[in-house]
């Protein structure tokens, strides 16, 4: 055994009976142990898909059951440690699970990757019911003995039969459990965590009555967990818990997490009850402000739809505050869209909702870190904030300082590639130059002739615009847009059940476009009209009513311009005649710099270039 690190003798016995000594000194020690075996434990349910590793540790005299914290999984999976490894356990705690003491390893430093078993470790004798067997005080020291040292005789001091926890081993102050170690099998625990992502108070009404709730994410260095308060607990804790502050939390109920309502990476969640204790902690040592796992904006295409991710970028554009009407509740919900860019050369649209959208006023192009944003694929990759997401403006982190310097020095003048220039089939379409089809190919391939709509991209020039029916009178209510009917001196919207003094006109454009291969008729709505005419439909209708000559000039100026189109092809029946209609999902003015780069790239990789 020469050359092997020395193990800390007697530490397994001390840990197994740690309620009988000063836990602060014990749990601040950094024992050297051998890791005899590893066993993967599959997820236990609750929507969590993270494996755990059970480890048998030895001090050369005894062995003890333990678990690796999930943040250490990579050591096993990357083969940094294996059977027989010797390591310094830099941070750990103990739990009682099904009457047995379980060591939770939170941090370790590998000394030897693999080695033969040191000594002849044996199992620790279980404690008899109604008492505890405690070894005599053992001075921690090295051991490379090949013979097991017998444990000293038990002390005949009976203790009440109870499940001791780390929280009551030290009478001077409650020892703190890591969030990683919480489970429904424990009753007495205290965590020290920072409050993050505190939601608004939400209410509900159903057949069983009505109620209210709010949720908050609690985070420490080992992980995070979602906590929810209902009804009376909302009154107790909503004002008391302030986002960003650190709290000591105990006596909350631990349940399996409902992943339908949470994206927090923990198989459990907490429920605050009347007897839950929440106390602000001024000692914020070892409690991180927030943990990010940033993804570059250019890499969002590789993130699955509906997954959550963290990004950091500079807000290049801030959209106007608008509203939508929820189909489920008919409530009007404020929204605002931000265009965020980073050093990867890409931009992404981030949607804020509710109070976050209303209160956002940043106009100085701040750096913002978004945590837990939901990935969407409508018109390309986009991000949407959820109740469990958080937004941190100008955070004091290295990534933010680097982005600020880059943007101020060069990024502000840079052209960015939007994710709306990537092609996706199915329910939505965006533009991709590599997927462009000529108009003749679209027709000969019979796009739109199947039962389901089909999608294609094209680059074409406007040749003719029907100017006799270019708009329709629409409801001016934000988010409605339905056609209104003139009744006397007012305009009536049947959907909103309201009358208005005047409508808001919206474009309904039909135009012929052509490329080198042929021609096709495309139809589009308000966004299309605003792009090709450069003004609102109300403005163009006003010009038509005042001056036909000027109106015709506006139409003529739009003809001859080339755009990138993302279109949908679908069969339509009219007067017993079936035809295919091509609707414009998105129209994008040409960016000649990007077009030139694309053509140059084709030339560079062509046979001619070789």
| Between 161 and 34, residue with greater pLDDT | 34
Using CB atoms within 10 A of its CB, is residue 385 exposed (0-12), middle (13-18) or buried (19+)? buried
Across the chain, mean pLDDT equals 80
Beta bridge mates, 457: 436, 566
Q: How many residues does the chain have?
A: 610
Averaged pLDDT for residues 5-30: 78
CATH architecture of 295-416: Beta Barrel (2.40)
Which pLDDT does position 96 carry in this prediction? 66
Q: Which helix (H) or strand (E) holds 557?
A: helix 548-558
Q: Which helix (H) or strand (E) holds 578?
A: strand 577-589
Q: In whole angstroms, give the CA distance from residue 387 to residue 256.
A: 20
User: Degrees (nearest 5) of the Cα angle 477, 483, 485?
Assistant: 100
What does the pLDDT look like over 45-102, one tens digit per residue?
444 556 788 888 899 888 888 888 888 888 888 888 888 899 999 988 877 665 567 7
What does the pLDDT look like over 153-197, one tens digit per residue?
433 333 333 333 343 444 445 668 888 888 887 778 899 999 988
User: Degrees (nearest 5) of the Cα angle 179, 185, 187?
Assistant: 75
| DSSP E strands, 98-153 | 100-112, 142-143
Averaged pLDDT for residues 468-481: 84
Q: In whole angstroms, give the CA distance from residue 13 to residue 61.
A: 9
Q: In whole angstroms, give the CA distance from residue 593 to residue 586.
A: 20
Q: Are 533 and 554 in contact (CB under 8 A)?
A: yes
Count other Cβ atoms within 10 Å, centred on residue 305.
12
Q: In whole angstroms, give the CA distance from residue 18 to residue 101.
A: 10
Which pLDDT does position 601 carry in this prediction? 77
Whole-number CA gyration radius for the chain:
33
Count other Cβ atoms within 10 Å, centred on residue 373.
26
Q: Hey, what are 291's tokens?
A: 């943990």
Write out the residue limits of the CATH 2.40.50.140 domain(s) in the chain. Answer: 9-121, 177-278, 295-416, 431-469+507-595
The residue behind tokens 């339905």 is: 482
Sheet holding 498-500, edge to edge: 485-487, 490-493, 498-500
DSSP 273: -
CATH 2.40.50.140 fits 177-278, yes or no: yes
Q: Are 70 and 108 in contact (CB under 8 A)?
A: no
| DSSP E strands, 59-113 | 63-68, 85-97, 100-112
Q: How large a percentage of the chain has pLDDT more than 90? A: 27
Q: In whole angstroms, give the CA distance from residue 547 to residue 541.
A: 10
Q: In whole angstroms, give the CA distance from residue 86 to residue 112.
A: 5
Among 483, 484, 568, which residue's Cα sits nearest to residue 524?
568
Cβ-Cβ contacts under 8 Å for 388 (sequence gap 6 or more): 197, 199, 215, 217, 226, 262, 263, 264, 372
User: Degrees (nearest 5) of the Cα angle 155, 160, 162?
Assistant: 115
Q: Predicted confidence band at 280 (pLDDT cuts at 50, 70, 90)? A: very high
What does the pLDDT look like over 406-448, one tens digit per residue?
999 988 888 887 765 333 333 345 676 667 889 999 888 888 8
Which pLDDT does position 13 carry in this prediction? 85
The residue behind tokens 């101020």 is: 408
* Phi and psi angles of residue 374, each rounded to the nearest 5 degrees, phi first: -90, 135
Q: Predicted confidence band at 533 (pLDDT cuts at 50, 70, 90)? A: very high
**CB neighbour burial string for 486-513, b if at least 16 within 10 angstroms, e if fewer:** eeeeebbbeebeeebeebbbbbbbbbbb
User: Degrees (nearest 5) of the Cα angle 477, 379, 263?
Assistant: 90
Q: Hey, what are 498's tokens?
A: 């309201």
Averaged pLDDT for residues 578-584: 87
Task: Determine the topology of domain 9-121 in CATH.
Answer: OB fold (Dihydrolipoamide Acetyltransferase, E2P) (2.40.50)
| DSSP E strands, 199-354 | 202-206, 209-220, 223-230, 246-250, 253-256, 268-272, 277-280, 308-318, 322-325, 332-341, 346-353
User: Degrees (nearest 5) of the Cα angle 415, 417, 422?
Assistant: 165
Averaged pLDDT for residues 245-254: 92
Which pLDDT does position 236 carry in this prediction? 92
Q: In whole angstroms, give the CA distance from residue 163 to residue 161.
A: 7
Among 38, 40, 14, which residue's Cα sits nearest to residue 26?
14
The residue behind tokens 């602060």 is: 24
Averaged pLDDT for residues 15-31: 73
Which pLDDT does position 590 carry in this prediction? 87
Task: Determine the topology of domain 431-469+507-595 in CATH.
Answer: OB fold (Dihydrolipoamide Acetyltransferase, E2P) (2.40.50)
């Amino acid at each position: 055994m020469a050359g092997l690190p020395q193990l800390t003798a007697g530490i397994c016995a001390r840990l197994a009976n740690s309620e009988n000594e000063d836990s602060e000194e014990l749990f601040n020690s950094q024992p050297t142990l051998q890791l005899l075996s590893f066993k993967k434990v599959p997820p236990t349910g609750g929507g969590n898909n993270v494996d755990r590793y059970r480890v048998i540790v030895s001090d050369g005299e005894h062995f003890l059951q333990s678990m690796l914290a999930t943040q250490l999984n990579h050591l096993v999976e990357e083969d940094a440690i294996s059977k027989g490894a010797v390591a310094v356990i830099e941070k750990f705690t103990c739990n009682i699970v099904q009457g047995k003491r379980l060591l939770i390893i939170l941090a370790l430093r590998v000394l030897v990757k693999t080695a033969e078993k040191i000594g002849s470790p044996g199992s620790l004798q279980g404690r008899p019911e109604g008492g505890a067997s405690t070894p005599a005080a053992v001075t921690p020291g090295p051991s490379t003995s090949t013979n097991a040292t017998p444990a000293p005789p038990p002390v005949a001091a009976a203790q009440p039969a109870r499940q001791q926890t780390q929280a009551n081993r030290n009478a001077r102050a409650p020892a703190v459990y890591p969030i990683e170690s919480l489970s429904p099998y424990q009753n007495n625990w205290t965590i020290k965590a920072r409050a993050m992502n505190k939601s608004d108070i939400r209410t509900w009404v159903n057949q069983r009555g009505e109620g209210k709730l709010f949720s908050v994410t609690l985070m420490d260095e080992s992980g995070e967990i979602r906590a929810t308060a209902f009804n009376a607990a909302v009154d107790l804790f909503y004002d008391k818990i302030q986002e960003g502050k650190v709290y000591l939390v105990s006596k909350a109920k631990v349940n399996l997490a409902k992943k339908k309502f949470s994206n927090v990476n923990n198989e459990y969640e907490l429920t605050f009850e009347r007897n839950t204790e929440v106390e602000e902690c001024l000692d914020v040592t070892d409690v991180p402000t927030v943990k990010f796992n940033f993804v570059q904006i250019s890499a969002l295409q590789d993130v699955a739809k509906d997954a959550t991710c963290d990004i950091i970028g500079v807000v290049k554009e801030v959209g106007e505050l608008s509203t939508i009407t929820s189909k489920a509740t008919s409530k009007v919900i404020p929204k605002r869209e931000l265009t965020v860019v980073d050093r990867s050369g890409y931009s992404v649209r981030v949607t804020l909702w509710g109070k976050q959208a209303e209160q956002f006023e940043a106009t100085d192009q701040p750096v913002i870190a978004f945590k837990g944003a939901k990935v969407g694929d409508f018109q390309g990759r986009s991000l949407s904030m959820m109740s469990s997401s958080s937004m941190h403006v100008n955070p004091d982190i290295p990534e933010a300082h680097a982005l600020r310097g880059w943007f101020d020095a060069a990024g502000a003048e840079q052209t960015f590639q939007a994710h709306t220039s990537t092609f996706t089939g199915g329910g939505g379409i965006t533009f991709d130059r590599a997927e462009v089809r000529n108009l003749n190919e679209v027709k000969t391939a019979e796009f739109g002739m199947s039962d389901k709509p089909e999608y294609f991209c094209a680059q074409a020039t406007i040749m003719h615009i029907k100017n006799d029916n270019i708009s329709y009178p629409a409801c001016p209510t934000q988010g409605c847009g339905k056609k209104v009917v003139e009744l006397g001196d007012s305009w009536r919207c049947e959907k909103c059940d309201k009358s208005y003094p005047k409508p808001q006109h919206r474009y309904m454009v039909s135009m012929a476009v052509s490329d080198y291969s042929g021609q096709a008729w495309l139809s589009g709505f308000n966004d299309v009209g605003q792009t090709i005419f450069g003004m609102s439909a109300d403005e163009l209708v006003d010009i038509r009513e005042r001056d036909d000559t000027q109106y015709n000039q506006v139409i003529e100026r739009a003809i001859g311009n080339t755009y990138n189109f993302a279109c949908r092809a679908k069969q339509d029946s009219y007067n017993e005649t079936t035809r295919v209609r091509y609707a414009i999902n998105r129209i994008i003015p040409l960016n000649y710099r990007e077009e030139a780069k694309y053509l140059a790239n084709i030339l560079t990789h062509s046979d001619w270039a070789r």
